[in-house]
């Protein structure tokens, strides 16, 4: 299992590295569109398991819609951001209010059918795709990577911190394998990463520092680290409700695509919100 996990991770990182190294922006944008399309399919298989056809349709539609949006942005319509901003605001509100409440009060009853969470899927996924696409188009590889690495660091350190030092369960009724110690390791890693990269031009942390200062940077780092944990727990909740181990078996050793981006879809919309002025200008 570990070998499969490592091989799959290397292949995915290789695809990402090649796409980031190309001058043509399309390969990475198409890759992102495919990722959100597959994630939408897997998400709805958890929240609407009796409507596989709906999951397929949503996955295809979201892939096409994001592709069309990428074409418009690359064609010079970069000011057409109203839809993105609307989905970002909705995503931020849900991730900061409804989902924390759901995780705190969750009752696992193996009744996965949920209209609300099914409707939230395309909103959150479009917001996530749009933010990543804009970072890539407007700011380049380093800005994009500095944000993604924040999420990967949280995930990796939480995993290894939990393995080595984990004793107290974080949310045993949702995800018995996650520990408070692991979550703290992940949070510490995020804060350290942000402090280190804040002095590097065009990093995500440098933008936060310019807008919010050092105290705001640390507070935002903690918030984003907590959201990374919440994204993981929320998907675990959906899987427990659906009584499945993974969102799919598409990625050997990892499960499904949603299993790999569960923290990304929680962090990215809020991260964009924190460094954008559209909501207060």
SS (H, E, C) the chain: CHHHHHHHHHHHHHHHHHHHHCCCCHHHHHHHHHHHHHHHHHHHHHHCCCCHHHHHHHHHHHHHHHHHHHHHHHCCCCCCCHHHHHHHHHHHHHHHHHHHHHHHHCCCCCCCCCHHHHHHHHHHHHHHHHHHHHHHHHHCHHHHHHHHHHHHHHHHHHHHHHHHHCCCEEECCCEEEEEHHHHHHHHHHHHHHHHHHCCCCCCHHHHHHHHHHHHHHHHHHHHHHHHHHHHHHHHHHHHHHHCCCCCCCCECCCECHHHHHHHHHHHHHHHHHHCCCCCCC
List CB contacts of 13: < 8 A, sequence separation 6 or more: none
Mean pLDDT for the stretch of residues 70-74: 94
Distance between CA 43 and CA 248 in Å, rounded?
Answer: 10
For residue 109, pLDDT over 90 is answered with no
Contact 150, 194 (CB under 8 A): yes
- How crowded is residue 95: how many other Cβ atoms within 10 Å of its Cβ? 22
Identify the pLDDT of residue 221: 97
Identify the pLDDT of residue 44: 96
Identify the pLDDT of residue 1: 54
Identify the pLDDT of residue 113: 87
Identify the pLDDT of residue 238: 95
Distance between CA 31 and CA 36 in Å, rounded?
Answer: 9
Return the percentage of the chain with pLDDT > 90, whole number: 75
Identify the pLDDT of residue 233: 96
Read off the tokens for 176. Answer: 């018995």
Q: What Å distances lie between residue 163 and 2, 7, 43, 159, CA to CA?
A: 14, 21, 27, 6
Least confident range of 11-15, 154-158, 227-231: 11-15
Average pLDDT of the chain to the nearest whole number: 92
For residue 248, pLDDT over 90 is answered with no
Identify the pLDDT of residue 72: 93
Using pLDDT thresholds of 50, 70 and 90, give the confidence band for residue 78. low
Least confident range of 109-113, 116-120, 176-180, 263-267: 109-113
Distance between CA 144 and CA 147 in Å, rounded?
Answer: 6
| pLDDT, greater one: 247 or 227 | 227
Identify the pLDDT of residue 50: 87
For the chain, what are the domain ranges?
A: 2-274
- Which pTM does this prediction carry? 0.95
Per-residue pLDDT tens over the stretch 132-191: 999 999 999 999 999 999 999 999 999 889 888 888 999 888 988 899 999 999 999 999
Mean pLDDT for the stretch of residues 5-23: 85
Identify the pLDDT of residue 281: 66
Read off the tokens for 50. Answer: 């009796």
Identify the pLDDT of residue 202: 96
Rounded to 10°, the helix 204-242/26-47 angle is 30
């Amino acid at each position: 299992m570990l070998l499969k996990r490592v091989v799959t991770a290397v292949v995915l990182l290789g695809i990402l590295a090649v796409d980031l190294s190309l001058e043509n922006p399309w390969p990475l944008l198409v890759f992102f569109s495919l990722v959100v399309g597959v994630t939408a399919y897997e998400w709805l298989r958890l929240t609407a398991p009796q409507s596989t056809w709906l999951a397929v349709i949503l996955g295809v539609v979201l892939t096409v819609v994001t592709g069309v949006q990428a074409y418009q942005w690359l064609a010079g319509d970069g000011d057409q951001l109203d839809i993105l901003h609307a989905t970002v605001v909705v995503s931020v509100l849900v991730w900061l209010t409804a989902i924390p409440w759901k995780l705190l009060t969750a009752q696992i009853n193996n009744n996965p059918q949920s209209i609300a969470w099914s409707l939230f899927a395309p909103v959150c996924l479009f917001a996530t795709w749009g933010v990543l696409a804009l970072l890539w188009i407007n700011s380049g590889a380093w800005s994009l990577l500095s944000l993604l690495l924040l999420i990967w660091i949280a995930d990796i350190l939480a995993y290894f911190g939990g393995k080595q030092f984990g004793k107290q369960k974080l949310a045993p009724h949702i995800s018995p394998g996650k520990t408070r110690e692991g979550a703290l390791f992940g949070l510490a890693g995020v804060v350290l990463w942000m402090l280190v990269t804040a002095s590097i031009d065009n990093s995500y942390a440098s933008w936060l520092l310019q807008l919010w200062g050092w105290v705001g940077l640390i507070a935002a780092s903690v918030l984003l680290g907590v959201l990374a944990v919440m994204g993981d727990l929320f998907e675990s909740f959906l899987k427990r409700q659906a009584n499945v181990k993974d969102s799919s078996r598409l990625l050997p050793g990892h499960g499904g695509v949603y299993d790999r981006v569960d923290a990304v879809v929680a962090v990215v919309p809020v991260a964009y919100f924190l460094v954008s002025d559209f909501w207060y200008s």
